[in-house]
């Protein structure tokens, strides 16, 4: 791995995977949370609120540093606002799945615009960049039991640079409904607080990470494209393992959809390549449940001339977000992104 530049020095301390060290944010007490289970319910996390520039009491709580995954400490939208914006999106959906803005603002359009501005603030986006139009997705359940990897992951797993979107660096999922299934699974995400003492578990983690890296090296960004591929199968089965277990582990967890809350995560490694730990996907719904979600994809504007410059710009944005939420501390810190060793 090349030496990290100052732009990539983050507020995280992480020991090498070879030494199975502890992953922790260096921002003082209360800046992160212990994950007690493989399933994360944001409503049960300890809230650490900070007042943002717009006066709102909300902050982002880190769940993982590799890749950087955060959840909001409070819902961004009320139950009523989620219903209104869901109806608005259904009425203003383009063929590509992107939500279009009305020229005459209805209440739904006003809520969406306010949400866009709030996300720009909470994510510390550079001033002057255009608001991101979200994609709206709705999922309905089937009567089929979730009794296999294929049933759990009907669309497989992916990284968000798939389909040629190589400049996507940050994804935000805004859940518009509550449900106790169809979690967003991150089977390779490195836990902040849980350290594995098992040699076999560390070896399995290293094996999975190698498979994830090799898939990306061959431009495979979606496991559903070739279910017969051994490495794709390995990553999918890792998600099945996270789904079936209850106890916390040193890697892999799933975030339950909670109405009005967001999950935000970076998908780019320190060298500008897709992060092999950012593989994720939506699990299937249990019978009788429904899920509505808005997905915001953030890209670096194409004003750079090299991959190194792109990586630098992503690093700057990540640092700005961490500083925004008091998660960055100068001095005595190390680069947490070891994904392209």
One DSSP character per residue, 70-99 reads: EEESS-SS-HHHHHHHHHHHHHTB-TTSBB
**Beta strands at 251-255 and 39-40: parallel, antiparallel or unpaired:** parallel
What are the backbone angles phi and psi of residue 253, rounded to the nearest 5°?
-155, 170
Q: How far apart are CA 231 and CA 210, in angstroms?
A: 9
Kindly state the helix (H) or strand (E) to which residue 66 belongs, with its residue range.
strand 60-66
Cis amide prior to 153 (ω within 30 degrees):
no
Q: How far apart are CA 321 and CA 59, in angstroms?
A: 11
Residue 33's Cβ-count burial label (10 Å; 0-12, 13-18, 19+) is buried
Q: Which residue do the tokens 């909001």 mark?
A: 72
User: In the structure encoding, which two tokens stand for residue 314, read together?
Assistant: 């992503």
User: How big is the CA angle at 12 (ends 6 and 18), to the nearest 5 degrees?
Assistant: 100
**DSSP state at residue 53:** T
Kindly state the helix (H) or strand (E) to which residue 111 belongs, with its residue range.
helix 107-122
Give the SS3 label for residue 25.
strand
User: In the structure encoding, which two tokens stand for residue 264, read together?
Assistant: 């935000």
User: How big is the CA angle at 242 (ends 245 and 49), to the nearest 5 degrees?
Assistant: 100
Q: How far apart are CA 10 and CA 328, in angstroms?
A: 7
Q: Which residue do the tokens 């510390």 mark?
A: 124
Q: Give how far the C-alpha of residue 116 lies from the chain's centroid of Cα atoms, to the nearest Å.
A: 18
Residues 27 and 331: beta-carbon distance below 8 Å: no
At 226 the pLDDT is 61
Domains by residue range for the chain, with CATH:
6-324 (2.60.120.620)
Using alpha carbons only, how large is the chain's radius of gyration in Å? 19
Give the SS3 label for residue 196.
coil
At 90 the pLDDT is 92
Strand partners for 263: 71, 173
Per-residue pLDDT of the chain (341 residues), as tens digits, is 333 333 222 223 222 222 222 223 333 333 445 555 678 888 777 544 444 444 445 688 888 889 999 999 889 999 999 999 999 999 999 888 899 887 767 999 999 999 999 999 999 999 989 999 999 999 988 888 999 999 999 999 999 998 888 899 999 999 999 999 999 999 999 877 666 667 778 899 999 999 999 999 999 999 985 656 899 999 999 999 999 986 767 789 899 999 999 999 999 999 999 999 999 999 999 998 999 999 999 999 999 999 999 999 999 999 999 988 888 654 322 334 443 44
Kindly state the helix (H) or strand (E) to which residue 321 belongs, with its residue range.
helix 307-324
Q: How far apart are CA 157 and CA 227, in angstroms?
A: 11
Residues in Cβ contact with 50 at an 8 Å cutoff, skipping those fewer than 6 apart: 57, 58, 59, 325, 326
Q: E strands, the chain, where?
A: 12-14, 23-25, 39-40, 60-66, 68-72, 135-140, 168-175, 184-191, 251-255, 262-266, 281-282, 290-299
User: In the structure encoding, which two tokens stand for residue 298, read together?
Assistant: 């953030």
Residue 2's Cβ-count burial label (10 Å; 0-12, 13-18, 19+) is exposed
CA terminus-to-terminus distance, the chain: 4
At 36 the pLDDT is 57
């Amino acid at each position: 791995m090349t030496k990290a530049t100052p732009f990539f020095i983050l507020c995280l301390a992480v020991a090498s995977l070879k030494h199975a060290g502890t992953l922790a944010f260096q921002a003082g007490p209360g800046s992160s949370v212990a994950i007690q289970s493989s399933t994360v319910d944001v409503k049960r996390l300890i809230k650490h609120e900070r007042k943002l520039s717009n006066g709102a009491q909300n902050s982002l709580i880190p769940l993982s540093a590799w890749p950087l995954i955060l959840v909001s400490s409070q819902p961004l939208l009320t139950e009523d606002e989620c219903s209104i914006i869901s109806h608005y999106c259904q009425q203003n959906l383009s063929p590509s799945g992107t939500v279009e803005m009305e020229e005459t603002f209805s209440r739904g359009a006003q809520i969406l615009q306010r949400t866009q501005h709030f996300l720009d603030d909470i994510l510390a986006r550079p001033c002057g960049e255009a608001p991101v139009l979200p994609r709206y997705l709705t999922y309905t359940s089937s009567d089929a039991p979730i009794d296999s990897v294929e049933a759990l992951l009907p669309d497989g797993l992916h990284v968000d640079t798939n389909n040629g979107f190589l400049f996507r660096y940050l994804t935000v999922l805004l859940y518009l409904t509550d449900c106790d299934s169809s979690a967003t699974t991150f089977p390779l995400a490195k836990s902040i607080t849980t350290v594995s003492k098992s040699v076999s578990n560390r070896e399995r983690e290293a094996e999975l990470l190698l498979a994830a890296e090799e898939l990306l090296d061959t431009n495979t960004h979606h496991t559903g494209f070739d279910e017969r591929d051994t490495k794709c199968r390995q990553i999918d089965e890792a998600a099945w393992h996270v789904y079936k277990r209850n106890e916390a582990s040193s890697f892999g967890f799933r975030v339950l959809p909670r109405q009005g809350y967001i999950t935000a995560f970076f998908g780019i490694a320190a060298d500008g390549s897709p992060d092999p730990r950012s593989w994720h996907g939506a699990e299937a719904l249990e019978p009788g449940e429904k899920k509505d979600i808005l997905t915001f994809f953030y890209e670096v504007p194409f004003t750079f001339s090299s991959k190194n410059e792109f990586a630098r710009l992503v690093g700057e944005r990540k640092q700005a977000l961490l500083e925004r939420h008091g998660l960055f501390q100068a001095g005595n810190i190390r680069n947490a992104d070891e994904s392209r060793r």
